[in-house]
Homo-oligomer: A and B are copies of this chain.
């Protein structure tokens, strides 16, 4: 007997039949003696339907009212799922974000959870009832309805699991776990049984779209074991846990690729103290995220300063830097979005040397040119030409024998 929080996304509850399938699973586990809290999203398509209505009425709908509107999506799902569970003969009660209650800050559309009072849910669990909670929503201190933004239902589930000290938080999704690489690119890619929070954070932020980064941060902070698994087929999925609980730490856990990257270079800028600060200051003031940063060795007092941003921010970055480049006496600003970032992630890296060397060797043997390199304790990232993306990923997957 254990206490689980399970989260089902919009596709998993996208029709009456799928809601019934979720109800069957949840009821069966409850009847087997487990305590169940279920977090659900809006039925797939519902959020878009509501957004369309909003956009017909306002060119830029007020954020407070948009949250009132969108939060009805999950409210419909919690009621329907409770009905389906009740029909099977297991008692279930629904909770909106306001009823739980999930207290957030007042940033409508991307609110952050501040506190959870899960006492009504605890009472239901004590009585053998299933508690079904609306994901993605909360209320601020003035009782205004808020939404948590993208992937918010994952965060709701993890935060609830932390609040009620669940044994495990299970995120049901349309993939059956976290893989060593994208299986569409590397058919031999293997599902990981276990992975550490830290590795998952690197994988999530690097483009593995399985889990939103905020929910992993939350799970890590409160040490909630997190399992990713498929709504549509049975299987153990991937368990994301504290590093210390992973006995055999593999050298490398996974390889990710991101094509949504651009590099921006301020060329031949006079190499004086503070130029990095001046250049990056302009970019961060515009709320553009900078990823990799490289400053070449100075040649005759001039240097090239290069960094990467998201592909969508390239044009804006150039426009922001051109006046500054003039002011600094630099030659010009050039940019290139024909790049991809390939990353190798693994906590085993900490205690092993030579990973970088092996990585560069494998890539060069295939004639793949490396443009930029950046490293962290558990990650090595390089940029390559976009056309080399898939080849680089499968080459590294082979080189580190991730299919073994």
- Nearest chain B residue, comparing its CB with the CB of A73: B72
Count this chain's copies in the assembly.
2
> Contact between B19 and A57 (Cβ–Cβ < 8 Å)?
yes
> Contact between B50 and A65 (Cβ–Cβ < 8 Å)?
no
- Nearest chain B residue, comparing its CB with the CB of A16: B56
Chain B residues whose CB sits within 8 angstroms of the CB of A56 once the complex forms: 16
Q: Of B69, B79, B82, which is within 8 A of A76 by CB?
A: B69
Q: Which of A30-38, A93-101, A197-205, A293-301 faces chain B?
A: A93-101
> Contact between B84 and A79 (Cβ–Cβ < 8 Å)?
no
Q: Is A143 an interface residue (CB 8 A)?
A: yes
Q: Of B53, B83, B145, which is within 8 A of A65 by CB?
A: B83
- Nearest chain B residue, comparing its CB with the CB of A84: B57
| Chain A 96-135 interface 0/1 with B at a Cβ cutoff of 8 Å (1 = within) | 1011000000000000000000001000000000000000
Q: Is A235 an interface residue (CB 8 A)?
A: no
Roughly how many angstroms separate A245 CA and B322 CA in the complex, as a whole number? 75
Chain B residues whose CB sits within 8 angstroms of the CB of A87 once the complex forms: 57-59
> Contact between A69 and B79 (Cβ–Cβ < 8 Å)?
yes
> Contact between A143 and B80 (Cβ–Cβ < 8 Å)?
no
Q: Is A369 an interface residue (CB 8 A)?
A: no
> Contact between B72 and A57 (Cβ–Cβ < 8 Å)?
no
Q: Is A367 an interface residue (CB 8 A)?
A: no
Q: Is A288 an interface residue (CB 8 A)?
A: no
Q: How far is the CB of A49 from chain B (nearest CB, A)?
A: 10
> Contact between B93 and A79 (Cβ–Cβ < 8 Å)?
no
Q: Is A380 an interface residue (CB 8 A)?
A: no
Chain B residues whose CB sits within 8 angstroms of the CB of A65 once the complex forms: 79-80, 82-83, 86, 93-94
Decide: A57 near B83, CB < 8 A? Known: A94-B65, A143-B99. Answer: yes
> Contact between A61 and B76 (Cβ–Cβ < 8 Å)?
no
> Contact between A78 and B84 (Cβ–Cβ < 8 Å)?
no
Chain B residues whose CB sits within 8 angstroms of the CB of A143 once the complex forms: 99, 120
Decide: A80 near B69, CB < 8 A? Known: A53-B16, A93-B64, A98-B98. Answer: yes
Roughly how many angstroms separate A8 CA and B322 CA in the complex, as a whole number? 55
Q: Is A75 an interface residue (CB 8 A)?
A: yes
- Nearest chain B residue, comparing its CB with the CB of A82: B65
Chain B residues whose CB sits within 8 angstroms of the CB of A53 once the complex forms: 16, 76, 80
> Contact between B57 and A68 (Cβ–Cβ < 8 Å)?
no
| Chain A 1-28 interface 0/1 with B at a Cβ cutoff of 8 Å (1 = within) | 0000000000000001001100000000
Q: How far is the CB of A109 from chain B (nearest CB, A)?
A: 13
Decide: A57 near B80, CB < 8 A? Known: A75-B75, A86-B62, A93-B64. Answer: yes
Roughly how many angstroms separate A72 CA and B70 CA in the complex, as a whole number? 10
Q: How far is the CB of A273 from chain B (nearest CB, A)?
A: 49
Q: Is A66 an interface residue (CB 8 A)?
A: yes
Contacts A20-B57, A58-B87, A68-B82 given; 6 further ones with Cβ under 8 A? A57-B80, A59-B87, A62-B82, A68-B75, A72-B79, A99-B145
